[in-house]
Amino acid sequence: MSEFWDKDGLYAFLRPYVDFTTRRSYRKMTTEGQLPPDDGTATIFAANHTNTLMDALVVLQLRRGGTLFGARADVFRKPSIARILHFLKMLPLARHSRDKAEEVAHNRISFDEIDRALAHGLPFCLFPEGRHRPMHSLLPMRRGIATMAFRSAQERPTRIVPIGIDYSDWFHYRAEAHIRIGEPLDVNAFAAGIPQGITDSERDAFLQEEMYRRLSSLIFFIPDNEHYEETLADTRASHPAPARWPRILLAALTFPFWLVTAVLSAPLWVLSEFLCRRMVKDPAFQNTARFGVRLILWPLWAIIWLIIGLCTMPWWGAIILLAAYLPSYSLFYDWLNLARGQ
């Protein structure tokens, strides 16, 4: 099996389309800040985690080269799936509270893989909260980020780049995404400033606290306490929604065009909504399902529409049909969001 840092022609061929699909999953995507240059420093990306696989895809499209990701260990249990995930530059990370003992023991091998990838210049991305949660807050940072960072820093210059991701909506497709890239943390310098004579656990806690502070400064952050809902309600009240009648009027005027987009993209959105309503139990995974359907079916259905057009109308009519289809999946959800007031 190839190494994660090896050049892969198929991966390089598919990446632009995956990044395109990621960006088209949002009505607007903005980025503040820049990733540091590839200068030989081992780089760990640390991002907040609110929207399942979409968070990883948002981080992935920030750079052209590959990025190694950690994922929950249970999805690697089938060998065929594990091979696909390896191709996608993902490796398993298990948790004592969720996974089998042998999967937790396998973390040692995953940590070795991560260290080797960092040594070969491949960035590693993890979500240090350990699990996703659609809230404007952060869970405590898990110890794994400190373990990986200090281990790498013992062998080479290492940095952690904090990445904050905010979404205007976690559950509706074609919302807005805003990414803020923070200042890199020099792990070697940070380790040198930690008091001597403390335990590894105490040392790691310093880094965990620092990452919590940095990530919370990069997102719209509400402390996760007994006043969370009250604070969120007050924030929403201080930003009243625009008047409804222009939105309702625009939705009514564009309804015939929406029907056209609904017909053209019907196989995609019908399957997407079926999956979201019948198969996806966690609402935060719904946009991941819609992304997956678009990634696989959008080009296939484009070919089908082109064939139908060429068989039933002049060539220029087939081109017009294809051009109308291409943005239809996005426009279908854009109109729904408009009608909902999203």
How long, in residues, is the chain? Answer: 342
pLDDT at residue 342, rounded to an integer:
67
Which residue in this structure is represented by tokens 């806690």?
205
Do residues 329 and 294 lie in contact, with contact meaning Cβ atoms separated by under 8 Å? yes
The residues facing 180 across adjacent strands are 32, 164
Which residue in this structure is represented by tokens 């969001």?
337
Query: What stretches in the chain show pLDDT beneath 70?
Result: 1, 97, 99, 342
Separation of alpha carbons 190 and 194, rounded Å: 7
pLDDT at residue 150, rounded to an integer:
94
pLDDT at residue 1, rounded to an integer:
62
The residues facing 228 across adjacent strands are none
pLDDT at residue 102, rounded to an integer:
80
pLDDT at residue 105, rounded to an integer:
79
For the stretch 290-313, what's the b/e string if a residue is b when 16 or more beta carbons lie within 10 angstroms of its beta carbon?
bbbbbbebbeebeeebeeebeeee
Alpha-carbon torsion (287, 291, 293, 298), positive or negative:
positive
Separation of alpha carbons 31 and 23, rounded Å: 12
Give the global pTM: 0.92
Give the strand pairing for 42-47 and 90-93: unpaired
Secondary structure class of 119 (helix, strand, coil): helix
- The full set of domain ranges for the chain reads 9-216, 244-340
Question: At a CB cut-off of 8 Å and minimum separation 6, what does 186 contact?
Answer: 157, 159
- How far are the Cα atoms of 26, 57, 119, 169, 297 from residue 165, in angstroms, in the given order? 13, 11, 27, 12, 27
Secondary structure class of 71 (helix, strand, coil): strand
pLDDT at residue 99, rounded to an integer:
66
Choosing among 3.40.50.920, 3.40.50.970, 3.40.50.1970, 3.40.1130.10, the CATH entry for 9-216 is 3.40.1130.10
Secondary structure class of 142 (helix, strand, coil): coil
